[in-house]
Structure 1
Amino acid sequence: MKRQILCRFAGMLCFIAMSVAVLFAETGERAADLNVKVSEFLAHARRSWWDMNVPYEDGKILHDMVVKGGFQNILEIGTSTGHSTIWLAWAASKTGGKVTTIEIDRKRYEKALQNFKKAGVDPYIDAHLADAHELVPLLRGPFDFVFCDADKEWYLQYFKDLQEKISLGGCFAAHNALWKRSSDIRMFLEYVKQVPDFRTRIEKGSGEGISVSCRIAK
């Protein structure tokens, strides 16, 4: 009797192990397929992004930061037609995360939705057609990573709205940080560099610059 029970138990363990192995294999295949699809889409469209999208080099920086940090709860302010969103969503597919992105212009928003599907990353994106001035203060968070590429005069307010909603170790990144002639950018950078529980650095990337302010323990 004991031998029969042990045999059944061993059989169950073997079945579970085989099922898990198959699941991991299928997951790995899907991830590999997605990597190929996204990389091909981004390479093909590399020179065709307009409407205030980030350059390819800056998109890659965003992707690498999210993957390295293992960030999962990602917020983007300013979708445009989706270039940076696709990079962020591709990273989120590797960390088990998702991107919430906000765009105010309907035409750009609808074009972005098309691009998400073409790139294959739409399952990792929650896109909103909305005014970020109104929506951002209502978001509950917490967020591991925020990328801001919207109206420069509102960068500082976006940061203030989200400052307490950024997780420990999480980051607030803002594009065009090297626009030296912009008083709004200068004001934003002066503020974030003085916040005690954040450390700020600049990633040069394409030359546009990405400021990265990460939350540390007080």
Structure 2
Amino acid sequence: KKALEIGTSTGHSGIWIAWALSKTGGKLITIDIDEDRHKQAVANFRECGLSEFIDARLADAHDLVKQLKGPFDFVFSDADKEWYKQYFIDVAPKLEIGGCFTAHNVYGRRRGYGGIGEYVEYILSLKNFETTFNTDGGGVAISYKRAEK
């Protein structure tokens, strides 16, 4: 019912998330730091008729993610890859049990973990999260919260 997207870009993923939330009465908070992308995303959300399900924020996610209250059922991270681990650390306590933290583009060009190896190692070390990987395209890490600790 409550989702967070870190890295709106022009709104492609946010549209799909908001469409799903429109079926459950949920709401998406989406964050981007780039003003031009933010404006384009807001226009795209409006054009799709999904604005009422989206709280689009022009902000620095490094700061805002820490401040958000939660709880969240679903988080989609598609922003600066070197911050994935910190975003996860900031959001995990606000994620409902059964909730999902999804990280996009976890694979580098050679199918390794590239610059986000530290994030991947971290999530795989957690006993209270179950993580699987979809290896299509840039790869997606899908982590379900199974317990608080």
Higher helix share: 1
Alignment TM-score > 0.5, same fold: yes
Q: Which SS does the other structure have where 1:144 is aligned?
A: strand
Q: By how many angstroms is 1:182 displaced?
A: 4.9
Q: Within the alignment, does 1:91 sit opposite 2:33 as a pair?
A: no
Which residue matches 1:209? 139
Correspondence 1:88-127 to 2 at 5 A: 88-127=17-56
Which residue matches 1:159? 88
RMSD of equivalent CA atoms: 1.2
Instruction: Tell me the matched-pair count.
Output: 146
Q: Within the alignment, does 1:138 sit opposite 2:67 as a pair?
A: yes
Q: Which SS does the other structure have where 1:95 is aligned?
A: coil
Q: Which SS does the other structure have where 1:86 is aligned?
A: helix
Cα distance in 2 for residues equivalent to 1:181 and 1:129: 32
Which residue matches 1:171? 100
Give the fraction of aligned pairs with identical amino acids, expressed as a percent: 53
Aligned with residue 128 of structure 2, among 181, 186, 197: 197
Cα distance in 2 for residues equivalent to 1:108 and 1:97: 23
4+ residue runs of structure 1 moved beyond 3 angstroms?
180-183
Does the aligned pair in 1 maintain the 2:107–2:114 contact within 8 Å? no
In structure 2, stretches of 5+ residues that fail to align are: none
Taking structure 1 as the reference length, what is the TM-score of the superposition? 0.65
Correspondence 1:35-54 to 2 at 5 A: none
Q: Which SS does the other structure have where 1:141 is aligned?
A: coil
Correspondence 1:173-188 to 2 at 5 A: 173-179=102-108, 180-188=111-119
- Residue identity matched to 1:212: I
- Residue identity matched to 1:161: D
Q: By how many angstroms is 1:184 displaced?
A: 2.8
Correspondence 1:4-23 to 2 at 5 A: none
In structure 1, stretches of 5+ residues that fail to align are: 1-71
Q: By how many angstroms is 1:187 displaced?
A: 1.1
The higher relative CO (CA closer than 8 Å, separation ≥ 6) is in 2
